[in-house]
Chains A and B, each alone.
Chain A
Amino acid sequence: MPAKDYLRQRFFPQIWCPGCGHGIIMGNMIRAIDQLGLEKNEVVVVSGIGCSSRMPGYVDFHSLHTLHGRALAFAMGVKMGRPELTVIVPMGDGDAAAIGGNHLIHAARRNIDLTAIIMNNSIYGMTGGQFSPMTPFGDKGTTAPSGTIDHAFDIVELAKGAGASFVARTTTYHVKEMIKIIARAIKHKGFSMVEVMSQCPTYYGRKNKLGSAVDMMNSYKDGTTSIGSKKKAEHPELIERGVFLEEERPEYSASYSALVKKSQG
């Protein structure tokens, strides 16, 4: 099915700025779902609040646009009640790592079969460009006019440490890789976290003089490399992309079904 058939065009025009990375991620999430051959009725998309969290409105699945930071907790309820449904949770970096940080680590720890797509643009876009827990040290936001003195989370390490069983990173520049990774994450039985580095030219880009959306995407090409590549050995400052972890571990809703069986004797 062409990607446009997965869109609720009646909700358009969408709110994203020209050049925003979020539309690219939405397109590739749709392509991944299409490749997996999932029925529209089998997919539920749950989001919180922010630029990224507007995505569920535009895609033609059952969609739930909930509270800032709470999407994963809400999605827990959906998935536990209806384990047969595929539940995808697109989140922003502020949404996932600041206000929703607690829910993120606990969803990862339980290894519940949800796919969290963290659209990391290192900024709060919706509210106009404040620094987030994923803004690199020293970078600027409207609430860090001289550069933030907060240290950023490495969300990949955080998810691994918290117990996610699938952890990956990609960028809006690496479109084919992104589709493959998202498809693998959705297919994975357990908690999957995919960080997608995404450009916010309007605020993060402008505040930090990073140029146009194209310039920012090119920086993802130049500033990242595949996990364990030779380039990484030569340039340790490069950010790694790819699947960091893919492990089979007892999944929460499956463990719960087993518990029900046992208690029913």
Chain B
Amino acid sequence: MTSEAVLTGEHFINGDEACAEGALAVGCRFFGGYPITPATEVAETMARRLPAVGGIFIQMEDEIASIAAVLGAAWGGAKAMTSTSGPGFSLMMENIGLGLVTETPCVIVNVQRGGPSTGLPTLCSQGDMMQARWGSHGHYEIIAISPSSPQEMFNFTIRAFNLAETFRMPVLVMADEVVGHTLERVTIPPAEEIVVVNRKKPTGSPETYLPYKTDSSFIPVLPDAGDGYKIHVTGLTHDERGYPGMDAKTQETMMTRLIQKVRKNRDQILDYEDYFLDGAEIVIVTYGSSVRPALRAMRGLREDGINVGLLKLNTVWPFAEDLIRKLAKKVEAFVVPEVNFGQISLEVERCSSGQALTHLISHAGGGIHTPQQVVEGVKETLRMLGSKRTKK
């Protein structure tokens, strides 16, 4: 096996493999996982590749252990990740909360499959988008990004690690079976062209060091185990010193900072691509494997003279609230194709506050929309707008 971490060149690989290559390229050297369809290829690639680059692959006893080991490895200083799908993602929820509250950088990949329960292990869905947002108990902000192709599985996994290291928190890669299993050309750039962010380490005296004291970025600078700072890391509510504090004041201070860390840095975290938004009457809002049929639909509709634009959400959480609010004042309607019964569309609807119509095109899972279904959805929206206008 090659000892090269960055396999510069053109490859014909699937999205899961591209995800693993992205992780390796950005310096991930620890993978803890448990077999699950359709994410297993991420683990298999890591098992094959990690030892040769001096990294660690462990197959744990379940998904709870996998994410726990990932958090432990991150505190040992490693860039660490795990990958899973629906049932495993459910099992990881408590530890995701621990990772958020202890500000542990790591990456969790969910190659979504049809649910609930065992559902459709081998087929696609986007049913876990709200679980990604709210699945762990308590209130929190999270970062989730959503790749729409094998190339983006590579690129976005790199970005996920960079976000995790920058903001010191677990970052979710919300992929899906179609993206994970699509086999196509993936370009891996030369190592020196890959942006790699590494976590900041404390430099001052351990005697006066306050682990959870932050500047206006709200991001703490924390040591790894063995660095000599001997800090106490706890999932209990804690103060700047890291000491547990069982009172409303400590809770307020800690929670406010954890929330602000994401909200105040939203511009740095958000990433999206837009197509023909200027003067668009209708905007398709899309992410993940829905992007491709949506783009195709947009092109066809524009050829037919319909004024449609498209917003591709690369970052799903935090949600692009301001952008949708601004657009809602200008456009007539948003059309949201999703492989679920309405999750991200609820956010679009919330942010448009009645100023623009939100029309969901549902797919129950087991596949993705055809471009024709998206076209129909847009035409349906036009009819709805038409009848609204006549009523006025």
Contact = CB atoms under 8 A, between A and B. Distances in A.
Given A76-B58, A76-B72, A77-B73, A40 B51 contact: no
A77 B232 contact: no
A42 B226 CA distance: 6
Nearest to B233: A64
Listed residue (A40, A46, A60, A67) with the most chain B CB atoms within 10 angstroms of its CB: A67
Interface in A177-203: none
A84 B358 CA distance: 56
Contacts, number: 141
Interface string B65-105: 11011111111111010000000000000110010001000
Given A76-B69, A106-B61, A264-B3, A64 B75 contact: yes
A160 interface: no
Contacts of A137: none
B230 A77 contact: no
Contacts of A263: 1, 51-52
Interface string A221-262: 000000000000000000000000000000000001001101
A66 B232 contact: no
Nearest to B73: A77
A74 interface: yes
B118 to A, nearest CB: 20
Given A64-B75, A106-B65, A260-B51, A77 B234 contact: no
A65 B102 CA distance: 10
B61 A80 contact: no
Interface string B90-126: 0000110010001000000000000000000000000
Nearest to B3: A264
B161 to A, nearest CB: 16
Q: How large is the interface on B (under 10, 10 to 19, 20 to 34, 35 or more residues)?
A: 35 or more
Nearest to B57: A256
A70 B63 CA distance: 11
A249 to B, nearest CB: 18
B235 A63 contact: no
B98 A81 contact: no
Interface residues of A, number: 41
A152 interface: no
A58 to B, nearest CB: 9
B138 interface: no
Interface in A30-76: 40-42, 44, 46, 56-57, 60-67, 70, 73-76
Contacts of A62: 223, 225-227, 229-231
Given A77-B76, A263-B51, 18 more contacts: A10-B243, A42-B226, A44-B225, A62-B225, A63-B231, A65-B235, A73-B68, A74-B69, A76-B60, A76-B72, A77-B30, A78-B73, A79-B72, A80-B58, A80-B69, A81-B77, A85-B76, A259-B51
Interface of B: 1, 3, 30, 32, 51-52, 54, 56, 58, 60-62, 64-66, 68-78, 80, 94-95, 98, 102, 223-236, 243-244
